[in-house]
């Protein structure tokens, strides 16, 4: 029987090699990998869904109603509630971020597909992009007053000697925590599901020997029920992690957008 290798599902494979020769620089690898493919599929599905759903009917159909529910969820529960009226310009970015992560997470639950968000490089880029936007918005809106973010109000200056470095450090680790939270939840859940699915096959094959070994069918059935339960749980986690990523993005944007109100 083949060895159980739960981490093999996260390996990157080239599907369409696209080496590009750049004179004086060398070869630039623009190959289409399984990760790139499912990112493109996710983006395509999101675009297709909203193109079909955006019919602006007075009495919305199911697709339009679903799109409006998602839009209201981000608008009223995140950007509006967490950032306020100043959060309206950031709604397209937060909504796109939420939609892309949610779809990539959900697609990764389908057998034979690839979980893009199980790659730290992907979650890291999303986190760095978000962090960069927060910093840029902070300086554009507040100028050098952006540094007031690291100076808690109403604190004695002696305490600031200790608190300011802590505030700066906690701010700089935000992209790390954003990336690791999404990456860790996706990779952990898939590994556990893979292990229980492997138990189904292994115990089922063992039970085929007959005799007392037939008790393996009971273990295989139990493992299969765990796979079903974990799949339902992972579906919730896939949506929840996208929501958490978007919520934290709104929290960080609120810090710099409403800096003059909070400090």
User: Rounded to an integer, what distance in angstroms lies between the CA atom of residue 259 and that of residue 83?
Assistant: 11
Output the furthest CA–CA distance in the chain (Å, rounded): 77
Site of tokens 């939609």: 99
Report whether 235 contacts 109 (CB < 8 A).
yes
Q: Tell me: the pLDDT tens digits for 87-131?
A: 889 999 999 999 999 999 999 998 888 999 999 999 999 999 999
CA distance 184 to 124: 12
pLDDT-wise least confident of 50-54, 147-151, 203-207, 244-248: 203-207
Give the tens place of pLDDT for each residue, 214-241: 777 787 888 888 888 989 999 999 999 9
Q: Where are the domains of the chain?
A: 6-262
CA distances from 87 to 81, 133, 226, 247, 256 (A): 9, 13, 42, 12, 11
Where residue 153 falls among pLDDT bands split at 50, 70, 90?
confident
Q: CB neighbours of 191 closer than 8 A, spacing ≥ 6?
A: 6, 7
Task: Dump pLDDT digits (tens) for 10-49.
Answer: 888 899 888 888 887 778 878 899 999 999 999 999 999 9
- For residue range 164-203, list pLDDT tens digits in order: 899 899 999 999 999 999 999 999 888 888 888 888 888 7
């Amino acid at each position: 029987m083949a060895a159980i290798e739960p981490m093999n599902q996260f390996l990157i494979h080239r599907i369409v090699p696209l080496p590009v020769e750049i004179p004086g620089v060398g070869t630039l690898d623009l190959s289409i990998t399984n990760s790139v493919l499912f990112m493109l599929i996710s983006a395509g599905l999101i675009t297709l869904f909203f193109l079909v759903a955006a019919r602006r009917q007075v009495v919305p159909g199911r697709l339009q109603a679903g799109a409006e529910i998602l839009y209201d969820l981000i608008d009223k529960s995140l950007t509006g509630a967490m950032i306020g009226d100043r959060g309206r310009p950031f709604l397209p970015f937060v909504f796109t971020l939420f939609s892309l992560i949610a779809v990539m997470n959900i697609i990764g639950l389908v057998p034979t597909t690839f979980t893009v968000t199980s790659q730290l490089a992907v979650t890291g880029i999303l986190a760095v992009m978000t962090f960069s936007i927060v910093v840029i918005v902070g300086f554009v809106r507040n100028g050098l007053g952006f540094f007031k973010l690291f100076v808690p109000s109403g604190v004695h200056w002696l305490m600031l000697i200790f608190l300011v470095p802590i505030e700066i450090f906690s701010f700089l680790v935000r992209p790390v925590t954003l990336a690791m939270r999404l990456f860790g939840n996706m990779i952990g859940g898939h590994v556990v599901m893979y292990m229980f699915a492997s138990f189904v096959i292994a115990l089922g094959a063992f039970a085929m020997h007959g005799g007392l070994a037939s008790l393996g069918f009971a273990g295989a059935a139990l493992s299969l029920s765990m796979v079903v339960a974990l799949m339902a749980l992972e579906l919730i986690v896939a949506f929840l992690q996208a929501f958490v990523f978007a919520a934290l993005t709104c929290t960080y944007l609120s810090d710099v957008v409403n800096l003059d109100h909070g400090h």
